[in-house]
A and B are shown apart, each in its own frame.
Chain A
């Protein structure tokens, strides 16, 4: 993306209120997660500690969002859970995007046999409901955040393969690709230096939206007890744990659930805003 194009996209995004709200929320959440150690009221409450004098306290100073059944500050644990959620999204996308894009570009550019084989494999993965596939994988693994990331990664790459395949198929017909082929450029050069740069805006937009969805799927796994394990703060497991105490100790469920809503909505708003900005720029 050229600097000029980036500036045009930024101007288009600034004219999109929803996109800007998403951007601000994402910025706030990311910064809060990065600096959780500094801004959390009780940083040690992210770990294996208990304050038995303050168990299950409703929201009131000094525990603005209340405490859990072990006496740990909910606000602190939500901030640290955001950190885990974002780490998870980054790791999952860092694994799945290169794999999915690589397969998609190869399938889109190379001959029909390779294309058919790779895309049918992709279709097999796409045909299985994502959460079911992740749960099946977790059936073989001990529940943990790392294994949760592996399970989500296994089901996420096909979406990027499908997107990149379609993009590569379209770009393959463009004159600049034909020109590169004419001067004898190799396949890696054509894929990585000619086609890929033109696919990046669309892939980046999808990644932005996907951050929210990855977090949502990871939270679903944790809700089922298949993700990060205690005492690691995790939004999904916090919702699940708190549900036992509804409606009396409502803060145990409501605030982590709102936290999930906020982060997923923020990335969706930003992603939609970026997509519209890119469309407008074109």
Chain B
């Protein structure tokens, strides 16, 4: 072999090896979450269900960035004429099936969501009179009245491929629509998102693959595949992370485990926040907390600083921030002029002196914590330590979630105090506060305080019907001030959902405040992950 032949051989060999390396440099992103994972986007409303919906499906609008509540997505523009919203759609959006997205798919998706009546359908129920598609690229929503949160609600309307869904419909109650493809969509998808379902078992795992035809394109650095596993034990997740077999944890790990992971050099922390609050609901319809002074006494007796210490991960990272009311800092309606809550025993005693229930026996309160969330027991014990010396007689009981959701539908069986994390479904505070505090809404776990207050009701209605942004901002600030006065809950802290991730990837939408979105859960976009090749 001559020297030139040798060089040529070397070049060819190098090229072959490079090609081989490129061909095999498939990246996979592995994380876990709580079970089950709901694949049907019109049903899943918890964190993992939302993450699946946001990655597999797209909506007309998506949560905004840099202070904007929403931003264009499938809809490139919209026009508001009174209660009529007209949206112009992108022409280049392709479903995973290869079908092109048209306005008829939007109409179908809306009708499907409302027909199923699950998931986020409550955001639109009774608010939309008609949805029509005058042409393939135009959708018109005619509302039944002024509904200011409408644009924000649209981020929760996933657009489905009508042809694919109907091709897979099974027998159902509707003679024409069958089961609306529910059986099919429980394990498959009909979306346009950057990722499509390869396999899905709700109790164990979902496997996704990058969709090459995504209308926005997907960066090469985004993972080729995603594997979500459900219901793993915290100790299992910790070991998988330590051995490099998992890239990111869920936010459900206990602070102690998260602390161990955070101390590792190959791990960085990510977080998601913006609308979640840790509510300690007070039952306003049952003695002794039907007296606002007793409620305010508890509000000021609660040790907010210790509650935050309990969720400390590092010296600078906590799974909570101090709160000043039911709206998180930075969210629409947040009032930075209000002070954060802090323990003030002088105020607590003053309010207690005004409470009509005078003896500890009259001030007996039961505190319920959800047994599926062990960290809540600590908060219950903290409350006991705070409230008993003040003159209350507390009893603590752990309660499974299903039992709790049944009991709180009736004020008589609702615990005096109960602990629940709640976040807003959309970038609009209406989606958080209306269901929680409007006396028109049937009681659910979100409204375990059973508040009946005319001023709160009036402000909630004004917030829905006022279309001027500045005036709405003012309305929600007044609402927060009123809620501070009537104290339907102790707003323990703002929720900060912390994840641990290996340094093999970065996700700016969960780590860089300039890249965050205006709604929780949307930031966990797999297409925005910057992966190092494995």
Residues of A within 8 A of B (CB): 48-50, 52, 55-56, 69-70, 142-143, 225, 229-231, 241, 243-249
Contacts and interface: CB of A to CB of B under 8 A. Distances in A.
Interface stretch (B62-70, B377-385, B525-533): B377-385
Contacts of B400: 143, 225
Contacts of B238: 246, 248
Contacts of B403: 142
B378 A70 contact: yes
Contacts of B239: 247
18 contacts: A48-B395, A50-B378, A52-B382, A55-B378, A56-B256, A70-B377, A70-B381, A142-B403, A225-B371, A229-B371, A229-B397, A230-B371, A231-B377, A241-B374, A244-B234, A244-B235, A245-B256, A248-B257
Interface of B: 233-235, 238-239, 254, 256-257, 260, 306, 309-310, 371, 374-375, 377-378, 380-382, 384-385, 395-398, 400, 403
B398 A52 contact: no
If over half of A's interface residues share one DSSP class (helix, strand or loop), that class is named, otherwise mixed; here it is: loop
Contact of A230 (B256, B257, B260, B377): B377
A203 B64 CA distance: 73
A249 B257 CA distance: 9
B254 A245 contact: yes
Given A48-B395, A48-B396, A248-B256, 8 more contacts: A49-B381, A50-B382, A52-B306, A52-B382, A225-B400, A230-B371, A245-B257, A247-B235
Contacts of A55: 310, 378
A225 B371 CA distance: 9
B235 A246 contact: yes
Given A50-B382, A52-B306, A245 B234 contact: yes
A230 B371 CA distance: 8
Given A50-B385, A229-B398, A69 B235 contact: no
- Which A-B residue pairs are the 3 nearest by beta carbons? A50-B381, A244-B234, A246-B235
A252 to B, nearest CB: 9
B260 A248 contact: yes
Contacts of A231: 377, 396, 398
Contacts of B375: 69
Contacts of B384: 48-49
Nearest to A249: B256
A245 B378 contact: no
A158 B525 CA distance: 57
A55 B309 CA distance: 11
Contacts of B309: 52
Nearest to B235: A246
B381 A48 contact: yes
A52 B310 contact: yes
Nearest to A242: B235
Contacts of B382: 50, 52
Contacts of B380: 48
A251 B374 CA distance: 18
Contacts of A247: 235, 239
Nearest to B403: A142
B233 A243 contact: yes
Nearest to B377: A230
A69 B256 contact: yes
A69 B381 contact: no
A147 to B, nearest CB: 13
B378 A69 contact: yes
Contacts of B254: 69, 244-245
A52 B311 CA distance: 12
A149 B100 CA distance: 61
A246 B310 CA distance: 19
A243 B377 contact: no
A42 to B, nearest CB: 14
Most chain B Cβ neighbours within 10 Å, of A48, A225, A243, A246 = A48
A48 B385 CA distance: 10
A245 B239 CA distance: 11
Contacts of B234: 244-245
B377 A244 contact: no
Given A142-B403, A143-B400, A230-B371, A245 B235 contact: yes
Contacts of B260: 248
A52 B375 CA distance: 12
Contacts of B233: 243-244
Which residue among B254, B260, B381, B385 has the maximum number of chain A CB atoms within 10 Å of its CB?
A: B381
A40 B375 CA distance: 25
A249 B396 CA distance: 26
Contacts of B381: 48-50, 70
Nearest to A225: B371
B245 to A, nearest CB: 16
Contacts of A142: 403
Contacts of B377: 70, 230-231
B203 to A, nearest CB: 16
Contacts of A69: 254, 256, 374-375, 378
Contacts of B374: 69, 241, 244
A143 B380 CA distance: 19
B38 to A, nearest CB: 23
Nearest to B385: A50
B82 to A, nearest CB: 53
A231 B395 CA distance: 11
B412 to A, nearest CB: 18
Nearest to B257: A245
Nearest to B310: A52
Contacts of A230: 371, 377, 398
B520 to A, nearest CB: 24
Nearest to A230: B398
